[in-house]
C-alpha cells in the first residue's frame, strides 16, 4: 500500500508537526512519502525521524498521486492539486486533514477527516516563552461557583513561585474573581475570545483544569498535553488522561501544586510524558481507524459489493 502526504511547509508550525507525526506512525504500516518544501525545519525533522520525502511541486504531486493508493492533504490549494491529479491518473483516494473545522468547495470530491482538536505547536512561541524565569499558568474554564477556580488562584498566589497566571473565560464569578485577584498578584483575566488560542496555549507551562464542561469530554486536557503543557486537575473526566506525577497532577485539592511549580526539572519530564500520552490518543487511534477502514475496503465482501 502506498500513501502520499502533501505538506508544503518549511517550519514546524500550523498543522506541520502533527501531520509529520501521523506520517511517521503510518510509515510502519505502509510505503509513505511526504512532499515538502526543502531547506527548513520540516526537512530536518524528516531526516531525523527517517521519513521519506520529496520536494513539493505540481509535477511531483502528479507523479506521487498517480502511484499512490491514498493521498492526504491539509490546505485548500493542495487538495485541489490532489483531486486534479487523482482524476487525471485515475488513482488515489484523497483525504483532507481538517485542523480548523473549515469546509471548502473541494470537500465534495474528497473525504474530510476532522482533527481540529489536535491544535498546533508553534515552536517560535515556545522559544520566546521559555526565556522568562516566570512560570506561565492558565485556567480555561467557564467561571462558575461550582468549578472552584478561586481555590486554585488562592493556592498559587500563596506560593513562593514567580508566575504569570492567565484566566480565560466568562461567567458569573468573573467580577468576584477580578475583585479578589489582580494584575499586581500576577493574575491576568482574558474574557474575550482568543483568535489564536493554540499559540496562547503552547506558551503555557501548566493548565489548571477545574472541571469538565457539559459535554464531559475534557478535550482541552488533551489539547494542552499535545502542546507539551502539564495539566493539574481533580476532575474525574480529566483523570482518564492525566497520570499523577507522570503527565500532570491529579488530586482532590490544590496542595501539591506549589511543589510542582518549584521543581522545573519535574515540569520538563511531565511535559514530555504528556505529549507522548496525547500523541497516543490523537495519532495512533486515528491511524488505527484509518487502517481498519482500508481493511474493510479491501475485504472480499466490499469488493464483491463494488462488482
Task: Choose from 50-54, 123-127, 159-163, 219-223 the range with maximum mean pLDDT.
Answer: 50-54
Residue 307's pLDDT is what?
A: 40
pLDDT of 306 strictly over 50: no
Residue 53's pLDDT is what?
A: 94
Helix, strand, or coil here: 191?
A: coil
Structural domain for 63, as ranges? 2-120
Residues 214 and 96 in one domain: no
Domain membership flag for residue 9: yes
Q: Work out the average pLDDT over 38-61.
A: 91
Residues 129 and 58 in one domain: no
Domain boundary among 64, 96, 120: 120
Residues 151 and 52 in one domain: no
More confident residue, 161 or 255: 161
Domain membership flag for residue 306: no
pTM: 0.57
Residues 245 and 261 in one domain: yes
| Residues ≥6 apart with Cβ < 8 Å to 147 | 141, 173, 210, 211
Share of the chain above pLDDT 90, in %: 12
Domain membership flag for residue 176: yes
H helices of the chain, where? Answer: 16-26, 41-49, 58-66, 76-89, 123-130, 149-157, 174-180, 197-202, 219-226, 257-261, 264-279, 285-297, 300-306
Residues 79 and 128 in one domain: no
> In the structure, what pLDDT confidence band is assigned to residue 129 with cuts at 50, 70 and 90?
very low
Residue 114's pLDDT is what?
A: 66
Residue 126's pLDDT is what?
A: 37
Domain membership flag for residue 86: yes
Task: Choose from 133-142, 275-284, 295-304 the range with maximum mean pLDDT.
Answer: 133-142
Quick one: how many helices (H) and strands (E) in the chain?
13, 12
199: domain CATH number? 3.40.50.2000
> In the structure, what pLDDT confidence band is assigned to residue 47 with cuts at 50, 70 and 90?
very high
Domain boundary among 120, 138, 170: 120
60: domain CATH number? 3.40.50.720
Length of the chain: 307
The helix (run of H) or strand (run of E) holding residue 167 is strand 163-168
Residue 153's pLDDT is what?
A: 82
Q: How far apart are CA 176 and CA 143, in angstroms?
A: 10
Q: How far apart are CA 198 and CA 122, in angstroms?
A: 8
Domain membership flag for residue 303: no
Residues 221 and 155 in one domain: yes
Domain boundary among 120, 139, 163: 120
Q: Work out the average pLDDT over 131-145.
A: 77
Residue 123's pLDDT is what?
A: 38
Residues 97 and 24 in one domain: yes
Residues 224 and 140 in one domain: yes
Residues 73 and 142 in one domain: no
pLDDT of 293 strictly over 50: yes
Residues 138 and 261 in one domain: yes
Residues 150 and 245 in one domain: yes
Domain membership flag for residue 294: no
Q: Which of 127-131, 146-150, 172-176 has the lowest mean pLDDT?
A: 127-131
Domain membership flag for residue 96: yes
> In the structure, what pLDDT confidence band is assigned to residue 13 with cuts at 50, 70 and 90?
low
Residue 43's pLDDT is what?
A: 94
Domain membership flag for residue 279: no
Q: Work out the average pLDDT over 256-269.
A: 82
Q: Work out the average pLDDT over 176-205.
A: 79
Helix axes 76-89, 58-66, angle to 10 degrees: 50
Residues 46 and 131 in one domain: no
* Total domain count, the chain: 2
Residue 286's pLDDT is what?
A: 67
Helix, strand, or coil here: 249?
A: strand
Amino acid at each position: 500500500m502506498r500513501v502520499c502526504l502533501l505538506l508544503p511547509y518549511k517550519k514546524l508550525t500550523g498543522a506541520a508537526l502533527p501531520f509529520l507525526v501521523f506520517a511517521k506512525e503510518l510509515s510502519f504500516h505502509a510505503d509513505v512519502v511526504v512532499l515538502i518544501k526543502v531547506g527548513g525545519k520540516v526537512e530536518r525533522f524528516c531526516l531525523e525521524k527517517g521519513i521519506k520525502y520529496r520536494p513539493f511541486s505540481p509535477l511531483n504531486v502528479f507523479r506521487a498521486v498517480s502511484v499512490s493508493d491514498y493521498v492526504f492533504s491539509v490546505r485548500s490549494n493542495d487538495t485541489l492539486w490532489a483531486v486534479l491529479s487523482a482524476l487525471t491518473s485515475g488513482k488515489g483516494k484523497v483525504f483532507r486533514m481538517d485542523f480548523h473545522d473549515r469546509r471548502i468547495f473541494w470537500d465534495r470530491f474528497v473525504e474530510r477527516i476532522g482533527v481540529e482538536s489536535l491544535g498546533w505547536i508553534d515552536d517560535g512561541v515556545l522559544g520566546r516563552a521559555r526565556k522568562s524565569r516566570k512560570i506561565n499558568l492558565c485556567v480555561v474554564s467557564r467561571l462558575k461557583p461550582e468549578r472552584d477556580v478561586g481555590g486554585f488562584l488562592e493556592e498559587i498566589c500563596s506560593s513562593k513561585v514567580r508566575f504569570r497566571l492567565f484566566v480565560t473565560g466568562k461567567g458569573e464569578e468573573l467580577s468576584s474573581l477580578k475583585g479578589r485577584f489582580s494584575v499586581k498578584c500576577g493574575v491576568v483575566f482574558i474574557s474575550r475570545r482568543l483568535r489564536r488560542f493554540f499559540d496562547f496555549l503552547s506558551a503555557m507551562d501548566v493548565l489548571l483544569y477545574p472541571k469538565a464542561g457539559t459535554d464531559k469530554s475534557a478535550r482541552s486536557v488533551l489539547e494542552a498535553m499535545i502542546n507539551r503543557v502539564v495539566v493539574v486537575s481533580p476532575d474525574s473526566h480529566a483523570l482518564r488522561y492525566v497520570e499523577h506525577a507522570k503527565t500532570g497532577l491529579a488530586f482532590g485539592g490544590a496542595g501539591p501544586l506549589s511543589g510542582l511549580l518549584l521543581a522545573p526539572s519535574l515540569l520538563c519530564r511531565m511535559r514530555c510524558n504528556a505529549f507522548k500520552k496525547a500523541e497516543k490518543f490523537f495519532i495512533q487511534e486515528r491511524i488505527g481507524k484509518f487502517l481498519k477502514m482500508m481493511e474493510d475496503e479491501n475485504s472480499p465482501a466490499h469488493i464483491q459489493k463494488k462488482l
